[in-house]
Amino acid sequence: MTSFLSRVLLFLFATLGLSSAAVLPRKALSARAIGTPINTALPKGKVTTSGQTVAYFGQFGDPETDSLSKFCSNTNIDIIVLAFVNVYKGAGGLPGMNMGRHCGNKIAGTDLLDCPDMGKDIIACQAAGKKVLLSLGGESAGGNSLPDDKSASDLGENLWKLFGEGKGLETKRPFGGALVDGFDIDNENKDPLGYPKLISTLRSCFKTGTKKYYLSAAPQCHMPEDSLGNAVFNVDYLFIQHYNNPSCQLGSFIDSFKSWSTNIAARTTSGTKVFAGFPGNSTAAGQGYATHDEMKKYVAAVRGLPNFGGVMVWDAVHASGNMASGKSFLQAMRDALG
């Protein structure tokens, strides 16, 4: 509360037309400065958005024309998901990778890839304010089952040592000293066993890190989802694949997304945000492609939901080359959130 003397001085300053800031208690000034800005207007030209944009990268494109650095500099992308760690226990007992044409040389004695240039691009992405996640699994992945808790905890610990801040596998790190910002689970083998343990292992590792790390998952849009099970409630982001599933794509998108939103909100353990996932062009998925305008219409119908996270696309290369009215699908995603 303001003292009697302060109230008198406030009255005198107001009468004389002077600023009252000089007589307000220091704590009152600090609370006002930190808690509620006096002027909440956004800078001129600033566009508000109701979510983030996510693009997968790694399986398509020519490294000469579609490098990771190209998408790091694209202001229409907030989160880049590298795909994939497609083998959970390969040569040398370590995970294995497939990054399309973007990185092909294996680290001796393993199925890991030696990708120093991609490591540099990851650092550049992060310097540009983007998060970089590494995706596990993939549709055609081999050897990506987790039959028991030990296999899940071993995978989590190895991922932390190879791509995070863990110690012990420094000579096997695919991206050198670059640290990813977390991991994405794109399991599509209809076997959810082990993923809750993998998530809890990674969460424990994250607590020892020097920055914030994230977990995401990319479930099919039908419910219940049979490849992730209860893991969908334990991640930070859900990138829902609203394609290749006739029961919940396009005309059924709005009802499907609202059902996901309600279900996740009721059971999440991590404040999970729900993202709408689309193919980047008509060939990026078998079915379920939405045009620029259709995608924006669908997003407009759900972006007001409390746990709406944004828009995801598979993948960056397809979306960047898909133009309509002078705008790429990536830019249309950004517009959909504006």
List residues with catalytic annotation.
188
Location of structure tokens 């133009």: 323
Phi-psi region at 316: left, alpha or beta (left = phi > 0; alpha = psi -120 to 50): alpha
d(CA 249, CA 262): 18
Distances (CA, A) of 150 to 118, 146, 155, 234, 270: 31, 8, 8, 19, 23
Largest CA distance in the chain: 82
Contact 121, 70 (CB under 8 A): no
Q: What six digits make up the tokens of 333? A: 């995603």
d(CA 185, CA 146): 12
| Phi and psi angles of residue 130, each rounded to the nearest 5 degrees, phi first | -95, 150
Peptide bond into 84 cis (omega under 30): yes
d(CA 38, CA 26): 16
**What count of Cα atoms within 13 Å lies in the side-chain half-sphere of residue 46?**
6
d(CA 48, CA 307): 17
Distances (CA, A) of 225 to 35, 185, 240, 247, 252: 41, 13, 10, 13, 16
Centroid of chain to Cα 193? 23
Contact 115, 69 (CB under 8 A): no
Within a 10 A sphere around the Cβ of 28, how many other Cβ atoms? 14
